[in-house]
């Protein structure tokens, strides 16, 4: 007999939680800051300068 | 399955490093795709990188947090942690085994014939120390006169940054050679140490130092996609112990934070169908593999 499929709830709770954080970040325009940083070379970060 | 995994590792490495105009521009990619989080450890100062490194970004946001808050901005890392958390909640350390470019680099090095050594389990805790101190506490707390911290992990440790960005940028922009100092040589030594260690031990950076692996490991028990042990089918033969690149005894700790879900235990070792891939509680691939059909 096939076992009944019981979905786990924990992954969906975690996904929901981090989705909220992600959306909050977008709401405060953090992606623009991230993009600004990612476009510049951080020389000291890569051991130069 | 191992060949499929290798192809996916190469494909994802080229996908996050998809800017091939750098020999002409002599600079890094500066387009809009850099707002996307790279799932694996991939320096965003790499000339070919088209996505941002979550560790680098998080440190940059934390080191300037005082300035952000003083100017009324709420750049506290929620977008970056949210992105990392979403990836972790779905895949966990699948990323390390299937997507991370630096993981692939270490695996290739480990194929070089040599004596092979195990890594003492106590060193596995090192990555949590690097995550807590070098990625969060030091950039946040150790600040200069202007209130800015430093990206400690990138600046003093990250060998991926040296390999993917430090060395290539010196080749692309030779005038930078005049600015290299002890910081650069310190990172070259760290890179060389990990290169040599990777030849003799399996994935030493992932296991002892990688803060991103440490973060994803928190999700290993409750992630959406994970490997599952069917205890009724397990004979405790120990075959899964022998093939694991992370030296886990899978049948004893199926949700180990060290498991990178490479699936070697499932496809190369277990002939009893005791290990399966599980998505949100639904098991799959448990009886579909030829190795098992041959041995049943």
CATH number at residue B234: 3.30.70
Q: What is the dihedral of CA B197, B247, B242, B286, to 10 degrees?
A: -130
Say if residue B51 is in the same domain as residue B192.
yes
Whether B48 and B94 map to the same domain: the answer is yes
Are residue B253 and residue B108 in the same domain, yes or no?
no
Total domain count, chain B:
2
Residue of A nearest to B73 (CA): A28
pLDDT per residue as tens, chain B (296 positions): 889 999 999 999 999 999 998 888 888 899 899 999 999 999 998 999 999 999 999 999 999 999 888 888 889 899 999 999 999 999 999 999 999 999 999 999 999 999 999 999 999 999 999 999 999 999 999 988 888 899 999 999 999 999 999 999 889 888 888 888 888 999 999 999 999 999 999 999 999 999 999 999 999 999 999 999 998 999 999 899 999 999 999 999 999 999 999 999 999 999 898 999 999 888 876 655 545 444 44
User: B224, A15: Cβ pair inside 8 Å?
Assistant: yes
Single residue among B217, B250, B269 that ends a domain in this structure:
B217
pLDDT band at A34 (very low <50, low <70, confident <90, very high): very high
Domain extent at residue B265:
225-295
Is residue B29 located within the same domain as residue B137? yes
**What is this structure's pTM?**
0.92
Q: What is the ipTM of this complex?
A: 0.91
Q: Is B73 exposed, middle or buried (0-12, 13-18, 19+ CB in 10 A)?
A: middle
Are B205 and B234 in a shared domain? no
- Boundary of a domain, candidates B217, B240, B274: B217
Among B201, B217, B233, the domain-final residue is: B217
Chain A residues close to B81, C-beta within 8 Å:
18, 21, 25
Q: What is the CA radius of gyration of chain A?
A: 20
Report how many Cβ contacts below 8 Å link chain A to chain B: 160
For residue A48, which residues of chain B lie inside 8 Å, CB to CB? 166, 169-170, 176, 179-180, 183-184
Residues B122 and B71 in one domain: yes
Clarify whether residues B266 and B213 are in a common domain: no
| B11 within 8 A of B95, measured Cβ to Cβ | no
Do residue B106 and residue B16 come from a single domain?
yes
Query: What pairs with residue B37 in β-bridges?
Result: B52
Helices A10-27 and A30-39: crossing angle in degrees, nearest 10, is 80
Q: CA–CA separation, B16 vs B12, rounded Å? A: 6
Same domain, B106 and B82: yes
Whether residues B189 and B209 fall in one domain: yes
- CB proximity under 8 Å: B 219-238 to A: 219, 221-224
Interface probe with A: pick from B47, B89, B215, most Cβ of A within 10 Å = B89
């Amino acid at each position: 007999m096939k076992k009944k499929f019981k979905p786990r709830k924990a992954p969906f709770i975690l996904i929901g939680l981090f989705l909220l954080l992600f959306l909050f970040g977008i709401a405060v325009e953090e992606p623009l800051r991230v993009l600004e940083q990612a476009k510049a070379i951080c020389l000291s970060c890569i051991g130069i300068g | 399955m191992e060949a499929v995994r290798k192809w996916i590792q190469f494909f994802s490495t080229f996908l996050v490093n998809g800017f091939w105009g750098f020999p002409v521009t002599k600079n890094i990619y500066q387009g809009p795709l850099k707002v996307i989080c790279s799932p694996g450890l991939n320096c965003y100062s790499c000339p070919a990188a088209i996505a941002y490194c979550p560790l680098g970004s998080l440190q940059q946001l934390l080191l300037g947090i005082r300035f952000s808050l003083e100017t009324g901005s709420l750049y506290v890392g929620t977008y970056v942690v949210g992105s990392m958390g979403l990836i972790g909640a779905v895949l966990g350390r699948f990323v390390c085994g299937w997507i991370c470019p630096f993981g692939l680099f270490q695996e290739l090095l480990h194929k070089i014939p040599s004596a092979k050594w195990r890594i003492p389990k106590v060193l596995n805790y090192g990555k949590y120390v690097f995550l807590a101190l070098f990625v969060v506490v030091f950039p946040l707390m150790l600040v200069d006169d202007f209130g800015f911290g430093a990206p400690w992990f990138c600046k003093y440790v990250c060998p991926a940054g040296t390999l993917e960005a430090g060395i290539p940028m010196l080749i692309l922009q030779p005038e930078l050679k005049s600015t290299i100092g002890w910081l650069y040589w310190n990172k070259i030594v760290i890179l060389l140490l990990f290169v040599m260690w990777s030849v003799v031990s399996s994935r030493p950076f992932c296991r002892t130092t990688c803060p991103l692996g440490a973060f994803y490991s928190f999700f290993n028990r409750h992630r959406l996609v994970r490997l599952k042990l069917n205890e009724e089918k397990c004979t405790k033969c120990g075959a899964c112990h022998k093939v694991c690149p992370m030296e886990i005894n899978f049948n004893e700790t199926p949700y180990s934070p060290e498991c990178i879900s490479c699936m070697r235990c499932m496809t190369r070792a277990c002939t009893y169908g005791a290990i399966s891939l599980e998505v949100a509680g639904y098991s799959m691939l448990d009886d579909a593999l030829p190795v098992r059909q041959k041995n049943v």
